[in-house]
Amino acid sequence: MMKQDQLNYERIAKAIEYIRLNFKKQPSLEEIAEVVSLSPFHFQRLFTEWAGTSPKKFLQYISIAYARKLLKETEASLFDVAYETGLSGNSRLHELFINIEGMTPAEFKNGGKDLHIRYSFVTSPFGPLLLASTEKGVCYMAFYDNQENELLKLKSTFPQANYLEGFDKIQANALLIFQKDWTKLDQIKLHLKGTSFQLKVWESLLKIPMGKLSTYGSIAQSISVPNASRAVGTAIGSNPVAFLIPCHRVIQSSGNLGGYMWGLNRKSAIIGWEASITDPLNLISENHS
């Protein structure tokens, strides 16, 4: 069994290297499978099991990383970027960015030039928050220790967006999350961008009941990628809206708290606060243990 595992690992490592070195050719599933001497069906299943994503999606991630670099660092046109990335044209590039980034390549290139973001500094039971919203919903929510640094972090997300300090109804509704009467939580609207994998992970987090905990492995199981705990952890760490998407409810299978972007002391305090409100004697969700 160990020999088979080692062989499988070597095959997937070889496939990943092949995709990384040949992404400009946009190799097909059949081409990559042939490199590691497997049938396309078997390779697809094995790659997904070991890498936590499909070969096609992995190729897309490699491609878009290169396209992002070109758009950021050069004056290349969208057609030139599509060509350099090995895509057949602007429509393929557009589709790639919509599927992975949640925005068009033009929107990415202009850094959110036409986006209007209103932000405010507010208080919460767990420390000060920077809260930001567009006309569609909350796009950013983060605990902070340094107000100026956190604002710079927000603005680096879309450097060309129009920013205006101010508090609006969207933000006010978001703060309902800290009240003990959660009857109006359906009024909270989010405006997020993320990869399809990130969105799947974030959606799974929203299903963890308040006062309960889950594990990285359980989240991976719930989205049908049981061997992708590390990728799940990365997606959780990319959560742009503290508390609204409850990444604080995910801990390690050993019982350790694991990581938290806004500090383990804060994570522990939030977990304790939620448990005290709901069921202090049963912190582990039967559905996510």
Catalytic residue among 71, 247, 251, 271: 247
Distance between CA 282 and CA 289 in Å, rounded? Answer: 11
Distance between CA 60 and CA 113 in Å, rounded? Answer: 25
Give kind and range of the element (H or E) at residue 143. Answer: strand 138-143
Given a contact cutoff of 8 angstroms between Cβ atoms, the answer to whether 71 and 82 are in contact is no
Torsions phi, psi for 113 (to 5 deg): -55, -40
Distance between CA 138 and CA 31 in Å, rounded? Answer: 43
Distance between CA 44 and CA 138 in Å, rounded? Answer: 37
Calculate the CA 16 to chain-centre distance. 21
What's the Cα-to-Cα distance from 181 to each of 122, 135, 184, 283, rounded to whole Å?
Answer: 20, 25, 8, 20
Distance between CA 115 and CA 136 in Å, rounded? Answer: 11
Report which residue type is found at 51: A
Q: Which 3 state secondary structure label does DSSP give 283?
A: coil
Distance between CA 201 and CA 262 in Å, rounded? Answer: 19
Residue 247 known to be catalytic: yes
Which of 247, 133, 237, 235 is CA-nearest to residue 190? 133
Which of 60, 11, 9, 59 is CA-nearest to residue 34? 11
Residues annotated as catalytic are 247
